[in-house]
Structure 1
């Protein structure tokens, strides 16, 4: 029987589902952000921006849940074949991924909070998300737009490195680092 929690050798269903769901949304958000700022139709751009904001709040909630779950469920250790340098850098890389995945939606929330356009944010048209208590101004909007842009590109760079590392483990090192994030643990492990 497969477990919802992590075991000493593999990840459980909860970790696997959160990992892939967050990964898909994060990459999708990058693509959506890239497209929405290049769309000529104002109506289409507006709708894409609203979707981007909705998915951003969903991502923020999921990553907070993921971090909380990670704090309560230790990750299986890396295989013995993994060298000392990678053992030290892997936790830092994961910490950086978590930090960027939290900072990016927060910077987007700050951006819409300081916008002088005062367009309400309604995640998935369900409710009005209150703005952060920040002062509205063109200067603040420029700052947060730049911060959001830089965080997005830095975050997607980290994701590319993360994927490259997983593929290296799978195809070059031929260990179970990738497969244990695909196939859940059994309750007997």
Structure 2
């Protein structure tokens, strides 16, 4: 008989999957909107939605970090080698960093482009920098590189979870499943 798996709390699980789905949707919308030629009403609408989703991801990420600071993660299985535990910690740390850095880089990219962010078309976010074409170009590139890094780490994270589920069969994935 197997021992029960130590699991994340229900709020941690909900925030994990909600943020993951929002990030996937925001990423796909970003790819869609930049592929639309010219400046059309649809493209502008998608840009607004993309920004709103990014702000939402940032807000949920703040909640997730607050929850995580007050609720310890369940331990990895004893059978998991130390290098895998260390790698998992490193990837999780980078994922958290990117979950904050990407919305911030997009926010400042928008400001540098001279386009303020108005969350849901209602709440204007502070304008902390003036329009700056050089900074805009640098922030656009940064936003892209951060997103591609997130995509790589996301794939690595998913592949590791699947490896643990189907090859190692150590029930690591059960810790985060609803």
Asked whether the two chains share a fold, i.e. TM above 0.5, the reply is: yes
Map of 2:36 onto structure 1:
39
Question: For residues 171 and 95 of structure 1, what CA distance do their matches in structure 2 show?
Answer: 24
TM-score normalized with structure 1 length = 0.87
Q: Which of these residues, 85, 91, 94, is aligned with residue 93 of structure 1?
A: 91
Please tell me whether the aligned partners of residues 107 and 117 of structure 2 are also in contact (alpha carbons under 8 angstroms). Answer: no
Deviations 1:128-160 (A, max 9, x none): 1122x2232110110100000110110111111
> Is residue 2:155 matched to residue 1:160?
yes
Question: For residues 21 and 133 of structure 2, what CA distance do their matches in structure 1 show?
Answer: 32
Q: How does 1:37-116 map to 2 (within 5 A)?
A: 37-40=34-37, 42-115=40-113
Shift of 1:89: 1.5
> Is residue 2:13 matched to residue 1:16?
yes
Please tell me whether the aligned partners of residues 53 and 121 of structure 1 are also in contact (alpha carbons under 8 angstroms). Answer: yes
Map of 2:136 onto structure 1:
141
| More displaced stretch, 91-100 vs 119-128 | 119-128
Question: For residues 100 and 90 of structure 2, what CA distance do their matches in structure 1 show?
Answer: 15
Aligned alpha-carbon RMSD (Å): 1.3
Question: For residues 176 and 126 of structure 1, what CA distance do their matches in structure 2 show?
Answer: 44
TM-score normalized with structure 2 length = 0.93
Structure 1: which 5+ runs fail to align? 1-7, 184-189
Q: How does 1:166-181 map to 2 (within 5 A)?
A: 166-181=161-176
